[in-house]
Every structure is written in structure tokens, then in C-alpha cells.
Amino acid sequence: MTTAVADAHDSHDEHGPAKGIGRWLFSTNHKDIGTMYLVFSLTMFFIGGAMALVIRSELAVPGLQFVHPEFFNSMTTMHALIMVFGAVMPAFVGLANWMIPLMIGAPDMALPRMNNWSFWILPVAFGILLSTLLMPGGAPASGWTMYPPLVLQTGDAFPFLIFSVHLMGISSIMGAINVIVTIINMRAPEMTLLRMPMFVWTWLITAYLLIAVMPVLAGAVTMLLTDQFFGTSFFLAAGGGDPVMFQHIFWFFGHPEVYIMILPAFGVVSEIIPTFARKKLFGHDSMVYAAASIAFLSFIVWAHHMFTVGMPLTGQMFFMFATMLIAVPTGVKVFNWVATMWRGAMTFETPMLFSLAFVFLFTIGGFSGLMLAIAPADIQYHDTYFVVAHFHYVLVPGSVSPSWPAPIIGCRSGPVTCTTRNSASCISGRRQYSST
């Protein structure tokens, strides 16, 4: 592709990416930004993983061998914050940046400069969060759920925790806006919504979830901030407030958040399995409706994280039934994946192995979720390792597993080249729309 427009640069600088650090700091290219998200996510995954190793070392044998209890609690808190906000979410945003324009035939994301900011906020946010490890009073140790009043006992790290959560939220909201605008406005002419690939669909739904709930988290942590520093009593009983209200607000964010973390993985697996089974995804439209149902239901189940908090019976019943209902569309998705494999012609390259592991282990994680939904049984499971097991099953083989093969087979063209040669669709075997 040559440009016919003369410009002021030397002629050998007309094409190609900028040189040096400027290429990355000022990039508005969706692939470069996507790559930065993925590299950032991998780095945070190792940092969070190191914290997990500290946790595991201490828990290996009874007694305290390596760390003080306060630091242990900081490790669990930071491990979760880093993995949730620093590893899983940026990985999927990175994949979205890479794949969505490619998959819908768009030249880039709709708002490339905002895209740049969405990314660069993250290293700042996590620099702030990680720096709290070195502050007096240590890193936050109240759990990633930041329940008051305990979180208000955090030392100097407290305002930095709140600030970094705000920054992460802003990054996610801007990224979500970008995704929605790109998908709604910049699809190739023949691509109606129901012709879009599953990864694009799941990201469209995820982006709406993000816009709906990240502001709620921002509100919740701002109320924590004002309770601590500005004399409010949102969550302090002595001033007429209610600690349980924080839990409601937090989990109103928190439950859709976990679906934010899994829906793009559903999309990835829905691309990989048909490719390696050499058979179209079974029930494509059904899969879209199932993902949308899961997203809708995710808004009305939040108090299943709060069954022991002293909720009225009616409330417990409602949340138990609504939570059990989520098993239905999720089950539909699993059945559809298996039906895609059925009478296909499968080969077992690495991406397929990751996706098969996803189906087995995410399903088991889902079963443990159904067990947790049964409120009387949850009385026994709540705040125990049963819950930890459940969410690690759905998050690690669920969210993290598909993140490994996804960039390997998706992020394929060279840096800053024209993306109309839609290499992703070739690899995924889909030829529903033309690529030029």
C-alpha cells in the first residue's frame, strides 16, 4: 500500500511503526495495544503467581513457618486483586483489541487514542497497588472484597488501594466503550449481528456488563474512602450506617465481574473447538442467546455471596433459585460444545487440548457452583476452601486456559500491517464473510 500524499518526513519514514519507545507509548494501533495488554497481563500473572507460591508455602504444613499472619492476609488479598484486575481482565481486553477489528473487518478500534489511555492507566494503577507492599502497615490485607469495617483498618496503603481500583475501573470502562462502539458501528457491510463470530458476541455482552458494574465498584470504594477520611458513615454502624450495605453494593459489581471474566473465554473456546473439530459451532444462535441470558441473570444473583449475613428468608430463596437458574444457559453452552465435537473430525493440537481441558474442568467448577447455590449447603461452604476451589476451577481452566492458545492462533499478522487480510478467520475456518 503506497500513499500518494506527500508529507514532511524523510521518505524512508513514511511507512511502518514509529521507532523506539514512542511506538509503544503513543500507539493507537489495536494490535500493538493488544500486545501490550497481553504482555502486561502475563507479567501480572507471574507476580500474582509468586504471591500464590508464598501462600502455598505457608499452608503446606501446620504452624507458621515463613510469614506473619498479617502478611499472609496481604498475600491473599493482593494475589486476588492482581489476578482478577491485572491478569485475567487485561488478557481478555488485549485479545479483544487484537481480534475484534480483525473479526468484523474493521481497520482498528473506534477510539484508538482512548484505547491507548485504557492501556497505559494499568501499569500506573498496578505500580501504585504494588507499592503498597512497601508502605507502613503493609499492603491491603482485608481480602480482595475489601469489606468494611476491616478494610478501614488498613494502614497507609488504604487511599492507594482505592485510587488504584478507581484507575483500573476507568481503564475497563473506557475499554468497554471502545469495544461496543467498534462492534456496533464498524462491522463490514454484510456482517449482521448474528453473523458475528462468537468471540465478538461474547465481548459485546461483556462490554455492556463492564459499563453497568464498574461504576458501581467505583461508588462502593469511594464510599469507603469518604467513611475513612471525610466523616461519612455509609458502612459504620455507630454513625447509622450498615456494613452489609457494602457487601450488597460490592457483590452487585462482583457477580457480573466474574461473568466478565468468563464470557470472553467462552468466546475463545467457541472459536477453537469448531476449528479443530472441522465442524461448525453447534447452535450458534443458541450460544448467543445463552451468553446473553447468563449476562442478564448475573445481575440478579449477587446475594448468593451473602447467604450467612442475616438475610430474610424470602431474599435467600430468591437468590438461591435465581443462582440455580444460571446453570441452565451455562449447561446449554456445554452441551453445544460437546455437540460441536460429536461426529466432527478432531485433531488435538495444543489449542484444542486447552479447550478440551476447559470444557472438562470448567464444567466441574460449574457443578461446584451449583452446589454452592443450594443455600443451606452454602452455610457450610461459605468462607471455606470449597469456595476457593470452585472459583479456581472456573477461573484457571476457565478463564486462563483459553488465554494461552488464543493469542497464539489469533494474534497472527505482523505488527502494524493492514488487517484486511483477515488471517484470523482463515485459521478459524470460518468463511461466512469475505476477506479482502
Partner 1 sequence: MIRKSFLSMLGLFVASNVRADWALNMPKGVTDLSAETYGLHMMVFWWCVAIGLLVFGVMIISLVLHRKSRGAKAADFSHSMTAEIIWTAIPVVILLVMAVPAAETMVKLEDSRDPDISIVITAYQWKWHYKYQDEDIEFYSSLARPSLEARRKQSGIDPNAVDNYLLDVDRPVVVPRGAKVRLLLTSNDVVHSWWVPDLAIKKDAVPGIVNEAWFKVNEAGTYRGQCAELCGKDHGYMPIVVEVVEPDAFQAWVDTRKESAEQVASTQ
CB of 407 to partner 1, least distance (A): 25
Euclidean distance between CA atoms 90 and 83, whole angstroms: 10
Cα dihedral 325/327/332/338 (nearest 10): -170
Using CB under 8 A, which residues numbered 278 to 297 contact partner 1? Answer: 278-286
Instruction: By CB under 8 A, name the one of 53, 193, 237, 388 that touches partner 1.
Output: 237
What is the rounded distance in angstroms from the CA atom of residue 243 to the CA atom of residue 261?
Answer: 27
Residues 6+ apart with CB under 8 A from 310: 244
CA-based torsion, 271, 277, 283, 287: positive or negative = negative
Residue 210 CA to residue 300 CA, distance in Å, equals 15
Residues 67-126 that bind partner 1 (CB under 8 A): 67-70, 73
- Binding of partner 1 by 189 (CB under 8 A): no
Of the candidate residues 23, 28, 55, 147, the single one contacting partner 1 (CB under 8 A): 147
For residues 103 and 86, give the distance between their C-alpha atoms in angstroms, rounded to a whole number.
Answer: 25
| Binders of partner 1 in range 299-358 (CB under 8 A) | 308-310, 313, 316-317, 320-321, 324-325, 327-328, 331-332, 334-335, 338-339, 341-348, 356
Positions 37 through 66 that interact with partner 1 (CB under 8 A): 62-65
Nearest-approach distance from CB 85 to partner 1, in angstroms: 19
- Among 340, 323, 45, 91, residue whose Cα is nearest residue 203: 91
CB nearer partner 1, residue 219 or residue 344? 344
Comparison of 17 and 344: residue with beta carbon closer to partner 1: 344
Residue 99's nearest CA partner among 433, 421, 411, 428 is 411
Nearest distance from C-beta of residue 306 to partner 1, angstroms: 8
Binding of residue 133 to partner 1 (CB under 8 A): no
How far apart are alpha carbons 177 and 175 in whole angstroms? 5
Which of residues 50 and 377 has its CB atom nearest to partner 1 in the complex? 377
For 80, which DSSP code? Answer: H
**Distance, CA of 100 to chain centre:** 16
- Cβ proximity to partner 1: between 38 and 373 the closer is 373
Report the chain's terminal Cα–Cα distance, integer Å. Answer: 13
- List 370, 389, 396, 416, residue binding partner 1 (CB under 8 A): 370
Min separation Cβ 10 and partner 1, Å? 53
The answer to the question of residue 374 lying near partner 1 (CB under 8 A) is: yes
Instruction: Decide whether 24 or 144 has the Cβ nearer to partner 1.
Output: 144
